[in-house]
Every structure is written in structure tokens, then in C-alpha cells.
Amino acid sequence: MLGFGLKKRTAEAIRRGVRASLTGAFFHRTRVQEFGLNDEGSAWLFTEAYAHQFYVLGCITTHACKNERWATFEFFAKSAVDGIRESERTGGMNTEQLTPILLKRYSDFEALGSEARLRGEHYRSSAILVAERDESADIESITRALSSSTERYMVEAGKMFGI
């Protein structure tokens, strides 16, 4: 990435960040199994983990490129979708199914406001969505798991942006 300009390096970092998330490196399928959820609850939990990582990658991008006119949400979303497509070609989730969910949850998290996110309400909202699909879901442990995996992802993804 050394020969790229900032815009191309940023797009590549976003694509790599999305692909890293979709490998399950920060919230693996085996982790989902620990919660003993039914199939629908498990699928929802896995998707919510992706959504939080997607959201934090957008926040990192915004912070790292705050003075760049090209660094819009549209730029982030296009680069992220490119990463999802690259992941799909190597056996990842279907781009057309995953993208609308991630974009909706991004909007939901953003709508909560910064104070609510600082309190972790976005993690809790995800845990509640999982519990709506499986009554046996432990909202508190799911909230903690989403928070900790997202924090690990944030640290690693931030390195690509010099944060």
C-alpha cells in the first residue's frame, strides 16, 4: 500500500478491515455456539457482531480522515461493500443479504447518540434482538461478548489507520 495515495490506502484498509471481520477472527462461529442459542438466535448474534465491527470501522475511518472531503459515508460504504464482495468470492456471506443489514444497524447505532453508545446501549440493543429470536438468550453475557469482541476489533483495525 506504500505507493497508494491516502484515499486508495484508506479504501484498501476498509476492505481489509471488513474481510478480517468476516473471517470470524474477532467473533468466531464457535463463540456463538457457547451461548446455546437456537439457529435463528445464533445467526442473529453472528450478524450483530459483524454489525458492531462494521460500525466501529466506519467510526475509525471518520476519525482518521476527518479533514478529507472525499471521506464521506458513501466512500466508506462503497469500500466496505467491496470488502464484503471480496469475502463472498472466497466463501463468505452473501453480499446482497448482508449489506442491507449492516447498513441498517449502522444507522440504528448512529441514531442512539454518542452518550448512549458510551453506555453500551448499542450492544444491549443487539442482545435484546437476539433474545427476541431465542428466549434462552442471556442478554448480559451477549452484551459483554459483543462489547469485548468489538473492542478487540477496534484496536486491531485502528492500527491500519495509525490510531
Mean pLDDT, the chain, rounded, equals 93
**pLDDT of 129 over the 80 cut:** yes
**pLDDT of 74 over the 60 cut:** yes
Question: Residue-wise over 105-144: b if at least 16 C-beta within 10 A, else e?
Answer: bbeebeeeeeeeeeeebbbbbbbebbbebbeebeeeebbe
Q: What's residue 1's pLDDT? A: 46
Mean pLDDT, residues 22-36 taken together: 90
Work out the pLDDT band at 4, boundaries 50, 70, 90.
low
Q: Is 28 exposed, middle or buried, given 0-12, 13-18 or 19+ CB atoms closer than 10 A?
A: middle
**pLDDT of 98 over the 90 cut:** yes
Three-state secondary structure call for residue 35: coil
- Please state at what angle helix 95-112 crosses helix 121-133, rounded to 10 degrees: 130
Q: Are 17 and 83 in contact (CB under 8 A)?
A: yes
Entry pTM: 0.93
